[in-house]
A and B are shown apart, each in its own frame.
Chain A
Amino acid sequence: MSTPLVVTKRMTEYPSDSHTIARYEATGGYEQAKRALGMTRDELVGEVKTSELLGRGGAAFPAGVKWGFLAPERPAYLVVNADESEPGTFKDRQLLERDPHQMIEGMIITAIANEAHLAFIYIRGEYPKPARRTQRAIEEAYQNGYLGRGIFGSDYDLDIVVHLGAGAYICGEETALINSLEGERGEPRLKPPYFPAAKGLYMKPTIVNNVETMSNIPHILEMGGEAYRDLVIALDTGTYMISLSGHVKRPGNYELPHTLSWRELIYDIGGGIRDDKELKAWIPGGASAPWFVPDEHLDLIVAKEACALAGSMLGSGAVVVMDEDTCMVRAAERIVRFFSHESCGQCTPCREGTTWMEMILRRIDEGAGRPVDLDLLIDVSDGISVGLQWPPKMTTICPLGPSAVSPIIALRDYFRDEVQRHVDLGGCPFELKSGETRARAPSSLAGAGPEVRGGSTGSIPSDRESAGEGSS
């Protein structure tokens, strides 16, 4: 199988210096940004629309269409979302560390297309090394006259500012990111307005795109939208970065076409399951995505529509593989804990619901589960996202809360017996089998950190009454 590499081509061919401006220019870099200066907005937006490039941040919204929404008011801003925090995802980190100029050129083209003269890159605070690399690349671009006043000798001014986040997953939601960049709490904004392209940063037209999306832009211009679209004959256009992790023999980032089955991805690309164990389940597109199981999904194609029809999503391209010895209750607890910890607290269903879900799962995992707990869990989940289906029904401003329900869908549909065994045995069957009690990381509710929301601190109640109250 030969895959045409696009965004990882340079770093694959020149592993020692793909991050430098010298290598970038020696491999055709910044030519497309220069060319873009001579193109109209309509031409640039048209090219990206033709390419059918889908946003790579997780929502897979067509990038060209998003650009087309830009309101006429000025100034307009460009914001690149490098707040990569979806559990299982680590592709943008690689793109920033290994080929920052590729993204910067994408930003220059995007800024020109959307008439922006100030652009921000919002990089998560836990990524200091990618931030340092990006900053250095920006400085190189300034020195060469590719950024600043009159870029490439034209009369177009463009500045890029690196803005560090501070440890809030929710800032990956584009309106939360904008609030954060304005110096507010990173809480998602009420819609409408639906698109930052109409009212975004400082209530001005703003394009928000992901790092991988930006990294594709110079290539679309270089080969033309049509050629990009037809790059590989597959269900979705272009290529896609997959972050493969968990119990596979060869975890890592892989740039792939949308022609593979999950079987090929996990067994051929990933090398199969560690210690040659059996595959039990996998998360196809980040922690927000409902899980897949081998009996039903192994031969589906890794593409947007195929995932959607099967009730899940490719999302951020994060594939987390779990072997036969993985406790599904523990895995669900860990994902729900994440959403509980990262809930911004604005909406009651998410704030309260994710907290209770975490407590109930923790209780089942620790052996204090009750026979009704799975139904209780489903009931609480139903309060956050009615019907526990995909795409999730919304009760909240943003999809964070409804995403927390995804692992519960898996427990309900595929692992009901395993939950039941936890309750019947009064403990985790995997621990009882091995005779070892595994270490347990703290609950998100046990610490004294600033993220702990009022009234939720302290130990997890295992008595029946307190859980019952929460469900009523």
Chain B
Amino acid sequence: MSHWSESTQERAREIIDLYPQKRSAVMPLLYLAMAEEGHLTETGMEEVARWCEITPAQVLSVASFYTMYKRERTGKYLISCCTSISCMLLGGDEVMHAVEDESGVPHGETDEEGLLSVEHAECIGACGGAPAVQVNYELIEGVTPDKARDLVTWLKKARPVVVNTDEMQELFGGRRSFDWAIPETDGAIGPFPAFQPLGTVESEGGE
């Protein structure tokens, strides 16, 4: 018996069909499990094990290898501050500190309400626009400590249903790695990557 909704099960079947072997679907299905429950639970991992026809222990061994599979309660908004070399050189640590201070949530933790989680991240590939921050993996480049504080305040107040990279870049960002980016309306609906085939993405409106 599946604990998942009909649409998620349909999604799982489609994903498994993409691969020559069911086990290869374990990573996308772990994201599905997170989208279903907000983070990865025992139940979610057991479900993935059934779909991929492997043991729950095998699923756990995979889930525990990767940083993006959150096995503890995670906020609606996951703020990841890059503090790798290029961001650090341009004030990434100060941005991280501002986010922790403004939110009251230290690295690796989630607030009581379950709204915000904060973490420092290793290089997120935005070095030309350092320092960079992601909210639910949607990118903001050229962030200052003050703008980082504004971002935290905004997330608390506005509580956007869809986290959109262009909107956040406009409000809180500065210099970008490359500045000919085309606007898009898609965005994240939780602390996992917003990607159509996973069904973990939502559009804010028309194209």
Contacts and interface: CB of A to CB of B under 8 A. Distances in A.
Given A183-B25, A183-B26, A166 B67 contact: yes
B173 to A, nearest CB: 14
B125 to A, nearest CB: 4
Interface residues of A, number: 80
Interface in B18-74: 18-21, 23-28, 30-31, 52, 54, 61-69, 71-72
Contacts of A166: 27, 30-31, 66-69
A1 interface: no
B85 A88 contact: yes
Contacts of B178: 94, 98, 252-253
B27 to A, nearest CB: 6
Interface stretch (A44-52, A127-135, A220-228, A260-268): A127-135
Contacts of A341: 122
A246 B89 contact: yes
Interface in A319-377: 320, 322, 326, 330-331, 334-335, 338, 341-342, 344
A129 B141 CA distance: 14
Contacts of B19: 161
B152 interface: no
Interface string B124-139: 1111111000100111
B144 interface: no
Nearest to A160: B18
B93 A125 contact: no
Contacts of A90: 125-128, 177
Contacts of A320: 85-86, 89, 127
A168 B66 contact: yes
Given A129-B139, A167-B68, A183-B27, A245 B128 contact: yes
A243 interface: yes
B196 interface: yes
A169 B124 CA distance: 10
A370 to B, nearest CB: 24
A180 B61 CA distance: 12
A180 B27 contact: yes
A271 to B, nearest CB: 13
A143 B84 CA distance: 40
Nearest to B28: A164
A162 interface: yes
Contact of A326 (B71, B89, B184): B89
Interface string B159-200: 000000100000000010110111010101000011111100
Contact of B71 (A253, A287, A450): A450
Nearest to A126: B124
A416 to B, nearest CB: 21
B194 to A, nearest CB: 5
Interface residues of B, number: 74
Q: Identify the interface centre among A164, A185, A202, A330: most chain B CB within 10 Å of its CB.
A: A164
A182 B123 contact: no
A389 B101 CA distance: 42
A7 to B, nearest CB: 13
Given A93-B125, A334-B88, A183 B24 contact: yes
Given A11-B180, A94-B177, A124-B125, A449 B119 contact: yes
B155 interface: no
B31 A164 contact: yes
A331 B97 CA distance: 18
A447 interface: yes
Contacts of A17: 182
Given A331-B85, A438-B94, A118 B20 contact: yes
Interface in A296-333: 318, 320, 322, 326, 330-331
A143 to B, nearest CB: 15
Contacts of A202: 20-21
Q: Identify the interface centre among B23, B119, B122: most chain A CB within 10 Å of its CB.
A: B122
Nearest to A118: B20
B75 interface: no
B114 interface: no
A268 B126 CA distance: 22
A97 interface: yes
Interface string B72-114: 1000000011011110111011101100000000011000000
B23 to A, nearest CB: 4
A403 B141 CA distance: 28
Contact of B27 (A163, A246, A318, A440): A163
Interface in A139-164: 159, 161-164
A442 interface: yes
B201 interface: yes
B64 A450 contact: yes
Contacts of A448: 72, 108
A358 B51 CA distance: 40
Given A98-B178, A185-B61, A446 B195 contact: no
A402 interface: no
A101 B80 CA distance: 30
Nearest to A252: B128
A241 to B, nearest CB: 11
B127 A126 contact: no
A246 B28 contact: no
Nearest to A94: B178
A246 B181 contact: no
B68 A125 contact: yes
Contacts of A11: 180
Interface string A6-20: 000001000111010
A441 interface: yes
A78 to B, nearest CB: 13
B122 A185 contact: no
Those 9 A-B pairs whose CB atoms lie nearest each other, nearest first = A166-B66, A441-B83, A245-B127, A167-B67, A439-B97, A183-B23, A447-B108, A183-B26, A167-B68
12 contacts: A15-B180, A87-B84, A98-B178, A164-B193, A164-B198, A183-B27, A246-B90, A251-B175, A334-B88, A439-B94, A442-B107, A450-B71
Given A186-B65, A331-B89, 4 more contacts: A165-B68, A183-B24, A183-B26, A246-B89
